[in-house]
Structure 1
Amino acid sequence: MDIKVNKRQGQLLNDTIAQWQQQQLIDNQQAQQLRQSYQIISFDWKLLAVYSFWIAIACFILSVILLVADDYLIALISRLINTPASVLTITSTIIAGLLFVLGVKRRQHYPEKTVSNEAMFFFGVLITAVASGFLSHTTLALHWRESVFILIPTAIYLVIGIQLRSVLVWLFALLGVGLWVLTETSYLAQDHYLFWGMNIPLRFAIVGALIIGLSASLKYNSRLLFLHEATLFIGLMYFFNALWMLTIFGNYDSLSAWSHIKQIELWGWSVAMMLVTLSAIFYGIKNNNPLIRAFGIIFLLLCLYSRYFEFFWGTLHKALFFAILALSFWGIGSRAEKIWQLGNKN
């Protein structure tokens, strides 16, 4: 059975086989057999399916956020159907459980439909969040703080993501962790911007670093290895976004305090981000990790653009600024090319 690959993958395979021929590692007959073992598809339908499901999920997320966040809407629904919030909580919890069970059975019957099977679990995630929203309106939970209603579904997602081996549910669990940290630390800070001397971006930088550490530990656990890349992605997203925000706002306790400083006073955060992004790029290249490399490149450029708008927009000519950047990256590229050529000679 031929392997189906997209155009980019097919080009890579063709180039690899041609290089093997040139190095006389395989003969012409073997090269022809290898080329006939795969088929290049003109359109990546799987990628379209992935994007379609993610767009659908994003729309569902927005609808759930609007539903759960709107206390009046939930109360109105309760009055319309004339059902106590406790009954709605139990009912929606049962429905969520049934949806997860249905997703498992569907995966058993159609294991090849990986994208739609994962998307099915989202409906269980959705109803679990709704159940937590109804729980917040019960008599039992009237005096619980808001972060509890984020922690409960997050803990459920963590357990279900592992037990059902669902990357999608695990991703929602990690997103819930970030939302819970934000809500809980804001509550403990008593409406101040700082918690233990840290503002929100600095807190998320630490959360991101911890999640990145968690992803590294998952590599050594065969049972949880399937969660490694998704965990690394969320950790990098938290960490680099938070670090970029620190280069703009610093670790100040209020917007009024930040508005009275000069941006040059935050140069330390900019230097730190430059070092971190360059380290991520070199680590990603050395260890062939495209995810870390991509985050490093994207946020290095983002940092440079941010510094340009902060320091040089009104003083340095735009063409000159980008010419300096071009020369600097040309130098880095030339140096990297020399190192690569030395490696090939050896």
Structure 2
Amino acid sequence: MRVSKKDADVILNAIDQWEEEQVIDAQNATQLRKSVNVYKDDLGSLTFYAFVAAVSCAILAFGAIVLDEKWIERMRRFFAFSEVLIGGIFLILSVLLIGFAGKRKRKFPDATLSNESFNILAVLSLGVSITYLTRGLGEGYRFYGLVVLVLALSYGAVAVYLRSKLIWICALLALIVSWGIQTWTWSGPAHDYFLGMNYPLRMTVLGGVLLAVVLFLRRQQWQKVPFYEITVYFLWIFFLLSGLFLSVSGNLSYDVWSNIRQGRLLPWALGYTLLLGGLIVLAYKLKDEIFRDLVLLFFLLNIYTRYFEYFWDKTNKGIFFALLALSFWLIGRKTEQMRKRFS
């Protein structure tokens, strides 16, 4: 039976429920699952790419019109607008866009892609509003990170109101940016260390703390963690990516790092590799396929990072890329064998 992916999810969930309630036995459930074939929805793919193009063009148009300093300055001189007033105008526009997006969400609840693409306008407008309101505070203002934190909280509130995963991701990104900006401001004239931590270590610590908080709230059966799954996977990506940069740089400033041999950073690389190994074991125990694939991806990135790090200057480039090609071929061959085995 050939069905769409959406219909297949409904059918497979029903089969799982029947098997759990012992309406059918395991053998019949397996046969029913094998009879379900998912066909590729080309129209759905076209819709997705069309909305991606629409969002990209909207961002470019918004940037060309709104973020053009000459255009803004011309408008300010003509109307004698202050930066605070411009920020207030965009704040009102943001509220109107959010209200319209909420009505559209209620009217067309299944139009996910079009709703999310429209939400981009509210995100951009709110960001411009906060930016110009902050610029109105003057050049000596030193708490821009806290302003971005306000923007992150605003995005979070809007995301919960509109039930928008896209805006929630923007909120998480803004939270990370706020930490980076404010710790840079507080890190002294050299801007190398904050509380003895360089940038990669700061970001790794932030990722670990946020992950611990979200997982703790979930473990306490606090069911109101908004967008739990997307939050956890996003934070894992951020944590592992920050850890990868940390394994390359260590807790060193750029000036020190650029003048030492990479062999001195081997303990950092080894620690990151051991962390990934432990997470792979955890992923298999939890039977979380997405988490498992994510950690395996970073494990491969870690291996190839070490390969470039330790062998780029010492190996003939022809041999270097030949070995790289062979490794990718072996990975592809093994993956194909596994896919055939489980399909």
- Mark the CA change 1:230 to 1:24 in structure 2 (over 3 Å): closer, same or farther: closer
Residue 178 of structure 2: aligned partner: 180
1:124-162 deviation digits (Å, cap 9, x = unpaired):
111001111221332x45543332432222121122222
- In structure 2, the partner of 1:97 is 95
Q: Is 1:210–1:235's contact at 8 Å kept on the other side of the alignment? A: no
Which residue is 2:261 aligned to?
Answer: 262
Note closer, same or farther for the CA distance 1:83–1:322 as it changes in structure 2 (3 Å cut).
closer
Q: SS of the counterpart of 1:176?
A: helix
Q: Determine the structure 2 residue equivalent to 1:343.
A: none
Unaligned runs of at least 5 residues, structure 1: 338-346
2:22 alignment partner in structure 1: none
Secondary structure, aligned partner of 2:272: helix
Task: Extract unaligned runs of 5+ from structure 2.
Answer: 20-24, 339-343
Give the secondary-structure state (helix, strand or coil) at the position aligned to 2:201: helix
> What letter is aligned with 1:101?
G
| Structure 1 residue 183, shift from structure 2 partner | 0.5
> What is the correspondence of 1:42-61 to structure 2 with a 5 Å cutoff?
42-54=40-52, 56-57=54-55
8 Å CA contact 1:6–1:43 kept in 2: the answer is no
Structure 2 CA distance for partners of 1:205 and 1:127, relative to 1, 3 Å: same
CA 1:324–1:99 in 2, change beyond 3 Å: closer, same or farther? Answer: closer
More off after superposition, 150-159 vs 96-105: 150-159
Identity %: 25
* Counterpart for residue 246 of structure 1: 246
What's the counterpart of residue 115 of structure 1? 113
Within 5 Å, give how 1:17-166 maps onto structure 2: 25-26=27-28, 31=32, 35=35, 40-54=38-52, 56-57=54-55, 74-138=72-136, 140=137, 143-145=140-142, 146-166=144-164
Secondary structure at 1:193 match in 2 = coil
Q: 1:65 to 1:133 in 2, by over 3 A?
A: farther
* Counterpart contact for 1:246–1:269, Cα < 8 Å: yes
Shift of 1:198: 0.5
| 2:222 counterpart residue number | 221
Which of 189, 212, 233 aligns to 2:187? It is 189
What secondary structure is seen at the aligned counterpart in 2 of 1:260? coil
**Counterpart residue identity of residue 144, structure 1:** Y
Deviations 1:29-76 (A, max 9, x none): x949x95xx674342544554454445445655776788887666444
Q: 2:105–2:162: 8 Å Cα contact kept in structure 1? A: no
Alignment root-mean-square deviation, CA: 3.9
What SS does the corresponding residue of 2:135 show, helix, strand or coil?
A: coil
1:250 positional shift:
1.3
1:246 CA displacement: 1.4
**Native 8 Å contact 1:211 1:234 kept in 2:** no
Q: Would you say the 8 A contact 1:249–1:258 is kept in 2? A: yes
Counting only pairs closer than 5 Å after superposition, residues 9-24 of structure 1 correspond to structure 2 as none
- What secondary structure, in the 3-state scheme, does the structure 2 residue paired with 1:147 have? helix
- 8 A Cα contact 2:214 2:225, kept in partner: no
Please give the TM-score of this superposition, normalised by the length of structure 2: 0.76
Residues 305 and 80 (structure 1), Cα distance of their counterparts in 2 relative to 1, 3 Å cut: farther
Change (3 A) 1:48 1:185: farther
Structure 2 counterparts to residues 205-216 of structure 1, below 5 A = 205-216=204-215
Q: Tell me how far apart the structure 2 counterparts of residues 53 and 271 of structure 1 sit (CA, whole Å).
A: 43
**Contact 2:262 2:309 (8 Å CA) reproduced:** yes
Q: State whether residues 6 and 44 of structure 1, in contact with CA within 8 Å, keep that contact through their aligned partners in structure 2.
A: no
1:233 deviation in Å?
Answer: 2.6
Whichever residue aligns with residue 298 of structure 1, its letter is L
Relative distance call for 1:52 and 1:284 in structure 2 (3 A) is farther
47 and 284 in structure 1: CA distance in 2 versus 1, 3 angstrom threshold = farther
Residue type of the alignment partner of 1:211? L
Q: Distance in 2 between the 1:112 and 1:185 partners?
A: 41
**In structure 1, what is the Cα distance between the partners aligned to 2:163 and 2:270?**
40
Contact between 1:161 and 1:167, CA under 8 Å: does it hold in 2? yes
The aligned amino acid for 1:125 is V
TM-score, length-scaled by structure 1: 0.76
One-letter amino acid matched to 2:225: L
Partner secondary structure for residue 27 of structure 2: coil
Q: C-alpha distance in 2, partners of 1:54/1:215?
A: 30
Partners of 1:324 and 1:274 in 2: how far apart?
Answer: 22
Q: Which stretch of the first structure deviates more once superposed, 68-77 or 204-213?
A: 68-77
Secondary structure at the counterpart of residue 125 of structure 2: helix
Please say which of residues 230-239 and 261-270 is displaced more in the overlay: 230-239
Q: Quick one: distance in 2 between partners of 1:68 and 1:189?
A: 32
Give secondary structure in 1 for the equivalent of 2:224. coil
Question: C-alpha displacement at 1:85, in angstroms?
Answer: 2.2
